[in-house]
Amino acid sequence: MPESLKNPRNWVRVLFLALVLFGCFKNASPNEVNLSFAGEKAFLSAEHPLGCDRLGRDNIALFSYGAVATILLCIPARAVTLLVSFFFSFLSYIRKSRYSLFVETFSSVFLSLPSLLVALVVLAVFPETKLTLLFAIVLSDWAMSYESIQAKIRDVRQSGYVAASLSLGGSSGHVFIVHFLPALRNLFEYLFLTGIPSVIMTTALFSYLGVDTSLFDWGPGLGEQISFSKDYFEKTPVSVLLPILGIIGLVYSFGRDEK
């Protein structure tokens, strides 16, 4: 048996993806209210196998479109966060002490603040737009990635290859591209994969608090679904449990395999 099939995380990924695709292909985005199906129990009809919420929206459709919307937000947000952190690290290396002191101080301030607090302040101060949401996620998370990149840069800077290149007249930009970028490649991959689960949790919390986290008109986010149905758990438990499983499934699926 291939090693990939022995990994339980891969089985969870396949099952999760299959359920999401099934829900998206079977149903349209859950934007319309149909009170004739309000609170329908699970396993009572083939049309709505897992029932409906108290507005008559199919639970599988809510789960599937909510999961897709979360993925489409979290992956670009994490990529932009790493780009911002890399940009500051590059400028800090090129400008050295003059610019580095400012960025290091700026980074230390953000590291001392709870990331969720930073994000909520941004959402409260700026207009509620998709760009503001992306900005809030990036601003709350960039400092940690910046410090990781800076630690790697300091480690590579001590190598003999860098010293030799600088001694032979290589510019800072050339040395950074030739020697630092290859060394940072694995770190970028690690930071990207390990950072997505935290962005998923942040996005779910924003959604639970009523922030519109969907980039498209695909209905409520997973967190908003929990907030909307939690008071009616006894009548529609699937409407609460399914988005919770969706968040857990996303975090687990994007988690990094142990090696």
- Cα(67)–Cα(69) distance, integer angstroms: 5
Smallest CA-to-CA distance from 207 within 102, 137, 258 is with: 137
188: left (phi over 0), alpha (psi -120 to 50) or beta: alpha
Share of the chain above pLDDT 70, in %: 88
For the ranges 61-75, 79-93, 121-135, the one whose mean pLDDT is highest:
61-75
pLDDT class of 124 with cuts at 50, 70, 90:
confident
C-beta separation of 16 from 188 below 8 A: no
Q: What is the DSSP letter of 36?
A: G
The pTM score is 0.85
One-letter amino acid at 210 equals G
Domains detected in the chain: 16-28+46-253 (1.10.3720.10)
